[in-house]
Amino acid sequence: MIKHLQRQFIALAMLSLFIVLLLVLTVVNVINISNLNQRADSIIDVLADNQGKFPTDLHDPQSKDTKMDDRNISAETPFETRFFVVWADSSNEISSIDTGHIAAVTSDAAEGYAQDVLAGTADRGYKDNYRFRIVSQANGTSLIIFVDARNTLSTAESFLINSVLVAAVSLVVLLIIVSLLSSRAVKPFVENVERQKRFITDAAHELRTPLAIISADNDVIEMTTEKSEWTGSINSQIRRMDSLINDLILMSRMEETQDTPGISKVNLSRIAEEKVQDRLVIVEQKQVKIEKDLQSDVTCMGDEKNLGRVIEILLDNAVKYVSDGGVISLSCTSEGKKVRFSIENTCGELPQGDLRRLFDRFYRADEARTHQTGSKGGYGIGLSMADAIIRRQHGKIRAERVQPDRIRFCFELPA
């Protein structure tokens, strides 16, 4: 269990770090691409404002427009920028092409780019490695400006690759650090669990001594006088307490290791049938009807004794809380690579809240912890033990409300 908890801690820590790094990478790269796009769009806007050319007064500090500073446009920008411009008439026919500021694009290629852009719906975006904008003129014509964004795209791609590599290396380093420190992180929990196990074991041994004395004294009373209702009640409570001690010790031992001894081929259908037969007398006394849907020879690999104990716990729970004259339904089926056992019963009042709490140790649906079922009331440990056994054998167990007056407990195991 400790190793499992340590692995869970490492997995959750790494998942949290991965999510944080993913968010940081996404935000940083989106901001970077947005800034690069804004830079390209600023150049295009300047060209659009000047009919496809840079202003001639960029070199003159006295006459330069202050808007150029806001757009990060300098006197060197015209020499750093590769672009071409295409004019189209009102019917989108190409009327003029200027490729004098770029060497990689011919007039025919520029015309093809312009026609593709005009055929689309966007007036701004990317066409191959070129950032473009369609500017509608007052006379119905269009000015299409293409700026070479090869360097921009290359910069964005390099930044993305480098940031992903840095994040990957960071995750590996953090995985090593978390793995080394995980034992220290779970150490308080481990110590608490060990103290709990020692307490349960020591308490069990200490309780057995007074129980043995009480049992011996009760036997002497019965021999010197005679058996009575009171001595019988004492013996009944001694047996219940002894059963509780045995269950606590068994649960403590099961939690010490995740390994499952005694693995063999188990016939769940046969076990369920045997457990039902053992309780027919009690069922008949409560005038309860039992409905069975047990497929023949439903088998799985597991610990036969413990799986029988689970079915026994679920069946006793159903018999204990089924309403008089009610119905208990059992089902055992094989579904692909899983086997499924379920037991359903009618009851006067269903537990409120999260049904998963029914599997908590010592939890009882009645908060006052009164034994409404008289001497047959339990300590709220049976379902907790069933849950521990099923989880130990790599299965799942759950409770669910079926109808307003029906509750179902079922577990699944690998076939």
Topology given in CATH for the domain delimited by 2-155:
Profilin-like (3.40.1840)
Level-2 CATH architecture, domain 262-414: 2-Layer Sandwich (3.30)
Residue 168 token pair: 């990957």
Q: Where are the domains of the chain?
A: 2-155, 262-414
CA angle at 373 for the pair 372 and 375, rounded to the nearest 5°: 115
The residue behind tokens 């208990």 is 328
Give me 299's structure tokens. Answer: 């088998």
pLDDT computed for residue 378 by the predictor: 55
Determine the angle formed by the axes of helices 268-278 and 304-321, rounding to 10 degrees.
40
What Å distances lie between residue 217 and 46, 128, 169, 210, 234, CA to CA?
105, 96, 71, 10, 10
pLDDT at position 245: 80
**Are the CB atoms for 350 and 405 separated by under 8 Å?**
yes
Predicted TM-score (pTM) of this structure: 0.54
- In whole angstroms, give the CA distance from residue 216 to residue 372: 30
Q: Which residues contact 365 (CB under 8 A, 6 or more apart)?
A: 351, 352, 358
The closest alpha carbon to 365, from 402, 410, 312, 401, belongs to: 401
Could you list the mean pLDDT of each consecutive 10-residue stretch along the chain, which spans 415 residues? 76 91 94 90 88 74 51 77 92 90 92 92 90 89 92 90 93 90 78 74 78 87 84 85 78 61 81 87 83 87 87 89 87 88 85 79 55 48 84 87 87 86
